[in-house]
């Protein structure tokens, strides 16, 4: 649970990085139509959630460090209380209760958003607003700028429009103790869900049924939805990196790749496991699997403060290449293949990514053109894979095999903490779980 104090301190840290006389305008998401008068399930904007923990649409957080206030000055604009709308569409907190629930100096209802924006922009020299993030709010902010410009006798127009996201992204890269606790909960329920799917799997079941096992478990554990489109790829479907159709019947003898994660209190887990639907790896499947596992473990073993993701990637790529040479899929030496990148035909994605409120979380991987060293508080995935197409360039035994293994890892002062270690990944452990 993230406390109100932590949300307030995030707001303070953002504002402290803005020049004097800045106003930050941070919009929530809005509802998106799915079909006629129904909408997609609402998902809060990650930046707005990071700063407020407020789950309603059509709201705006306003922060000012203008010298006209004694210190950080905060307001929320939220949906108006409306008996009729609340009977049809659900409860709304309303401005009055928002004032009590959040650490705010003012709260307003969003039918006055245009006037509020005019008042808040007026007299500030810098506006921090994320362009391209929330179209509904951007239109309002641009119109407010225009009204100010059209009324130079009444308003002092801000001279600078800046993006708050680079500041927020860097803050979000380093997770607090409370964030890590939340991510541990997301990782735990996701780990259990993967085990459940492995135990349920049998030849003749459908890919979407394994997805349903995952979704059932994470819902029962408290997650309202998955953090991204669940991937259940059996057989050759495992070679489609973001396969989310999940429509096929899983045939005996095939591997199944499941890449799925819960979103819990806004935070994502992102686990991949690959296992044989029959409960027993074939010899060819085991050979490919062992290569990926060794590459994944080598990368994880390297992680600690000061190391870069690129260094871990090189170590794991060398193992993948050596394995592909041994299987007769690549020719030449490891060094030659690293150089000519031929292995990228069978390993097309990166080693991993930051994980947090977004599954592919924000944050830069290079600073001043240099790979950034890992530091305590970062959370990332490590997820090498091999995808061997059903094609004559691949020896027959290995055609159509796709394997990815993905864990979620916190960088600590001592090295790492693996959040997803309870899902089996050695061949022996997978086979043992599936035989139960
Ligand atoms: N689930 C997407 C990824 O692993 O990056
Ligand atoms: Mn994944
Ligand atoms: Mn991932």
In tens, the pLDDT along 279-329 reads 999 999 999 999 999 999 999 999 999 999 999 999 999 999 999 999 999
70 — pLDDT class (breaks 50, 70, 90): confident
Read off the tokens for 387. Answer: 């995808």
In tens, the pLDDT along 380-397 reads 999 999 999 999 999 999
Average pLDDT, integer, range 356-371: 97
Q: How far apart are CA 309 and CA 379, in angstroms?
A: 12
Pocket test for ligand 1, best of 190, 263, 359, 382 (most atoms within 8 A of CB): 359
pLDDT at residue 69 above 90?
no
Q: Which ligand is nearest to the CA of 409?
A: 3
Long-range contacts, stretch 358-363, CB < 8 angstroms, 24+ apart: 358/46, 358/268, 359/227, 359/228, 359/261, 359/268, 359/270, 361/172, 361/173, 361/268, 362/46, 362/165, 362/168, 362/169, 362/172, 362/173, 363/169, 363/170, 363/172, 363/173
Q: How far apart are CA 124 and CA 106, in angstroms?
A: 18
Read off the tokens for 253. Answer: 């003898």
Q: How far apart are CA 202 and CA 278, in angstroms?
A: 6
Residues shown for the chain = 436
Residues 6+ apart with CB under 8 A from 92: 56, 78, 79, 80, 81, 82, 85, 86
**Per-residue pLDDT at 285:** 98
The reply to whether ligand 1 has any atom less than 6 angstroms from the CB of 228 is yes
Q: Measured on CA atoms in the order 311, 314, 317, 322, is the torsion positive or negative?
A: negative
**Per-residue pLDDT at 314:** 97
* Widest distance between CA atoms in the chain: 80
Look up the pTM and report it: 0.97
Q: In 10 A of CB 37, how many CB atoms?
A: 6
Q: List residues with catalytic annotation.
A: 37, 242, 259, 270, 349, 353, 360, 383, 387, 404, 406
Read off the tokens for 198. Answer: 């492995």
- pLDDT over 90 percentage in the chain: 98
Instruction: Return the SS3 of 229.
Output: coil
In tens, the pLDDT along 177-187 reads 999 999 999 99
Q: In 10 A of CB 410, how many CB atoms?
A: 22
- The protein residue whose alpha carbon is closest to atom 3 in ligand 1 is 270
**How far, in Å, is the centroid of ligand 1 from the Cα of 392?**
28
241 — pLDDT class (breaks 50, 70, 90): very high
Cα–Cα distances (Å) from 343 to 133, 251, 321, 340, 423, in that order, read 36, 28, 6, 8, 28
Residues 6+ apart with CB under 8 A from 391: 399
CB 295 within 8 A of CB 224: no
In 120-214, where do the E strands start and end? 126-128, 160-162
In terms of Cβ atoms closer than 10 Å to its own Cβ (0-12, 13-18, 19+), residue 159 is exposed
Q: How far apart are CA 163 and CA 140, in angstroms?
A: 16
CB 356 within 8 A of CB 183: yes
Q: Which parts of 17-82 fold into alpha helices (H)?
A: 46-52
Q: How far apart are CA 186 and CA 272, in angstroms?
A: 14
Q: How far apart are CA 316 and CA 293, in angstroms?
A: 10
Q: What are the backbone dihedrals phi and psi of residue 79, each rounded to the nearest 5 degrees, phi first?
A: -60, 140
**Per-residue pLDDT at 401:** 98
In tens, the pLDDT along 287-301 reads 999 999 999 999 999
**Per-residue pLDDT at 94:** 97
Residue carrying structure tokens 């902010």: 141
Q: First vs last Cα of the chain: how many Å apart?
A: 35
The overall average pLDDT reported for the chain is 97
Pocket test for ligand 1, best of 214, 406, 409 (most atoms within 8 A of CB): 406
**How far, in Å, is the centroid of ligand 3 from the Cα of 381?**
6
Q: What are the backbone dihedrals phi and psi of residue 329, each rounded to the nearest 5 degrees, phi first?
A: -95, -30
């Amino acid at each position: 649970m993230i406390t109100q104090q932590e949300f307030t301190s995030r707001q303070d840290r953002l504002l402290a990085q803005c020049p004097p006389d800045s106003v930050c305008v941070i919009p929530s998401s809005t509802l998106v139509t799915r079909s006629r008068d129904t909408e997609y399930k609402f998902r809060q904007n990650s930046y707005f959630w990071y700063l407020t923990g407020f789950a309603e649409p059509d709201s705006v957080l306003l922060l000012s460090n203008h010298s006209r206030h004694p210190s950080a000055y905060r307001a929320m604009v939220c949906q108006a209380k409306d008996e009729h709308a609340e009977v049809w569409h659900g409860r709304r907190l309303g401005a009055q209760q928002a004032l009590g629930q959040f650490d705010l100096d003012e709260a307003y209802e969003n039918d006055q958003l245009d006037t509020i924006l005019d008042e808040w922009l007026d007299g500030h020299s810098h506006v921090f607003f994320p362009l391209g993030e929330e179209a509904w709010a951007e239109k309002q902010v641009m119109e407010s700028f225009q009204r100010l410009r059209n009324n130079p006798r009444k308003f002092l127009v801000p001279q600078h429009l800046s993006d708050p996201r680079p500041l927020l992204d860097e803050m979000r890269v380093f997770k607090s103790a409370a964030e890590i606790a939340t991510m541990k909960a997301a990782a735990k329920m996701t780990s259990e869900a993967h085990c459940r799917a492995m135990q349920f799997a049998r030849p003749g079941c459908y890919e979407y049924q394994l997805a349903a096992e995952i979704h059932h478990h994470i819902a029962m554990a408290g997650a309202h939805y998955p953090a991204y489109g669940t991937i259940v790829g059996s057989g050759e479907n495992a070679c489609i990196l973001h396969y989310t159709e999940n429509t096929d019947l899983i045939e005996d003898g095939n591997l199944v790749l499941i890449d799925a994660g819960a979103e819990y209190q806004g935070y994502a887990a992102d686990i991949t496991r690959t296992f044989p639907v029959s409960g027993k790896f074939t010899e060819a499947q085991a050979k490919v699997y062992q290569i990926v596992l060794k590459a994944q473990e080598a990368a994880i073993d390297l992680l600690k403060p000061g190391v870069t993701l690129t260094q871990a990637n090189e170590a794991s790529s060398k193992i993948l290449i050596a394995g592909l040479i041994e299987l007769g899929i690549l020719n030449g030496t490891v060094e030659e293949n690293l150089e000519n990148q031929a292995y990228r035909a069978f390993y097309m994605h990166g080693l991993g990514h930051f994980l947090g409120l977004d599954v592919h979380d924000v944050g830069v991987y290079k600073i001043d053109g240099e790979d950034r060293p890992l530091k305590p508080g970062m959370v990332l995935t490590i997820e090498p894979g091999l995808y061997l197409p059903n094609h004559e360039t691949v020896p027959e035994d290995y055609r159509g095999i796709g394997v990815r293994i993905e864990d979620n890892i916190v960088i600590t002062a001592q090295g790492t903490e693996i959040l997803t270690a309870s899902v089996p990944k050695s061949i022996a452990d997978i086979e043992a779980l599936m035989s139960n």
